Amino acid sequence: MTFTTIFRQFFLLGWISFGGPAAHIGYFRRTFVEQLNWISDREYAQLVALSQFLPGPGSSQVGFALGYRKGGLQGACAAFLGFTLPSVILMLILATLSSSLTDSSMFQSIIHGLKLLAVIVVADATLGMFGNFCRNRISIGLCVFTAAALLIAPGLWTQILVLIIAAIIGRLWLMDSLVAHRFYSNKGLSSKPLIAFAVLLLIFPLLAGVTQVTQLFSDFFQAGSLVFGGGHVVLPLLQNIVGDQITQDSFITGYAAAQAVPGPMFTLATYLGYQLLPGAPILGALIATAAVFLPGFLLLLGVLKNWEALANQPALSGAINGVNAAVVGLLLSALYQPVFSSAVLSGSDFAMVVIGFALLRVLKLPIMALVGLAILAGVCI
């Protein structure tokens, strides 16, 4: 598949993917599993599970892996650029306009409507994956256990612990004869990306003080290397990086903008890079953005080949089944917090979600039509 084809699919999604990582996973599943059949639901769940164990932007890593499957490294880059470019463009615009746009009531109303759409998309993805991966009492129990654990004690360590427990239980009681298909070429990269990650992580801190550019790259690369658990976790790391180089108000404005625009929250780095390199703000924005995403992608490329080998061992099929059930639980917990809790603020909001869910599931209304209706609902409610 060509670079242009992959880029186009992800570029269209990049403009409408509001709601954070859980919503992105929902958008990807509906587009690439249900509509385009690029990948099976089983294979897709494996990618989502893998993204939970690696540092970096989880949903972007899933998109990167989908692009890699269809077009190798070129396809992975096309997926990343397509999905991230809309958010980068919007963050650059907001960086120049500061808070004048984000504070307007019309802008907030539109964003509110699109957050309601994110609730619908995540609910649809959760229901679809539940039907595929939770077909007996044990897998249903793992799903419920995972969701309950994360709702009661949200956090990175809870997430890692429940995935490990799910893998153990799956290995013991969910083993079957169905083995995942091979869906990556044996020619895929392995050691080179990991070596590149280690070199960049170790060398750039030594060069950090040479120029503002090397300092900027080093700081944001280290932040991207240490973030487990998604975009919200990167906030305190980036806050420590910028320190008193930009004002607290400016930092909060950038964070609010990253939540408001579609695409990955890691593009907060775009806004901060623009502010931190005033002599060449566009260059600063691009360097910071590339640096914060790069570690997660290098690690993903290094692990994909081993992940394929593990997924194709019959002895581990049960563990994979357990993790797949737990992934459904992860989505279910994310459906409530942060997606539902930040979007549904009244009975009218919930009514819009119910109507939108029916339009999506029953009438099969296209996502772009739902985007228009969500914007209209946000303005009118």
pLDDT band at residue 179 using 50, 70 and 90 as cut-offs: very low
pLDDT of residue 188: 46
User: What are 333-349's pLDDT values in tens digits?
Assistant: 888 987 898 889 999 99
In order of 44, 73, 108, 142, 301, the CA distances from 178 in angstroms are 15, 29, 48, 19, 25
Per the document, the length of the chain is 381
Tokens, residue 221: 């690369």
Tell me which DSSP letter residue 244 carries: T
pLDDT band at residue 357 using 50, 70 and 90 as cut-offs: very high
pLDDT of residue 98: 61
What is the C-alpha to C-alpha distance for residues 230 and 300, in angstroms, rounded to an integer?
15
What is the C-alpha to C-alpha distance for residues 322 and 296, in angstroms, rounded to an integer?
24
pLDDT of residue 160: 79
What is the C-alpha to C-alpha distance for residues 311 and 303, in angstroms, rounded to an integer?
12
Q: Are 350 and 344 in contact (CB under 8 A)?
A: yes
| Residue 102 reports pLDDT greater than 70 | no
In order of 17, 218, 327, the CA distances from 145 in angstroms are 28, 39, 11
User: What are 42-77's pLDDT values in tens digits?
Assistant: 889 888 888 877 888 888 999 999 999 999 999 999
| Residue 19 reports pLDDT greater than 80 | no
What is the C-alpha to C-alpha distance for residues 345 and 112, in angstroms, rounded to an integer?
10
pLDDT of residue 149: 95
- Quick one: how far is CA 120 from the chain centroid? 17
Query: CB within 8 A of 210, min separation 6: which ones?
Result: none
pLDDT of residue 185: 46
Cα–Cα–Cα angle for 148, 334, 304, rounded to 5 degrees = 105
Average pLDDT over residues 260-289: 91
Average pLDDT over residues 26-46: 91
Query: CB within 8 A of 359, min separation 6: which ones?
Result: 365, 370, 373
Range with lowest mean pLDDT among 218-232, 336-350, 363-377: 218-232
pLDDT of residue 180: 43
pLDDT of residue 345: 92
Between 115 and 198, the higher pLDDT residue: 198
What is the C-alpha to C-alpha distance for residues 63 and 3, in angstroms, rounded to an integer?
14
pLDDT of residue 181: 46
| Residue 183 reports pLDDT greater than 90 | no
Strands (E), 114-188: none
What is the C-alpha to C-alpha distance for residues 370 and 23, in angstroms, rounded to an integer?
14
Range with lowest mean pLDDT among 203-207, 332-336, 355-359: 203-207
Q: How many helices (H) and strands (E) does the chain have?
A: 18, 0
Between 19 and 197, the higher pLDDT residue: 197
| Residue 215 reports pLDDT greater than 80 | yes
What is the C-alpha to C-alpha distance for residues 260 and 48, in angstroms, rounded to an integer?
24
Burial readout 59-91 (b: 16 or more C-beta within 10 A, e: otherwise): bbbbbbbbbbbbbbebbbbbbbbbbbbbbbbbb
Average pLDDT over residues 185-204: 78
User: How many other CB atoms are found less than 10 A from the CB of residue 314?
Assistant: 12
Tokens, residue 281: 């703000």
User: What are 145-164's pLDDT values in tens digits?
Assistant: 999 999 999 876 888 799 88
pLDDT of residue 310: 67
Provide the angle, in degrees to the nearest 10, between the axes of the packed helices 58-97 and 281-311.
Answer: 170
Tell me which DSSP letter residue 374 carries: H
pLDDT of residue 312: 64
pLDDT of residue 339: 81
pTM of the model: 0.79
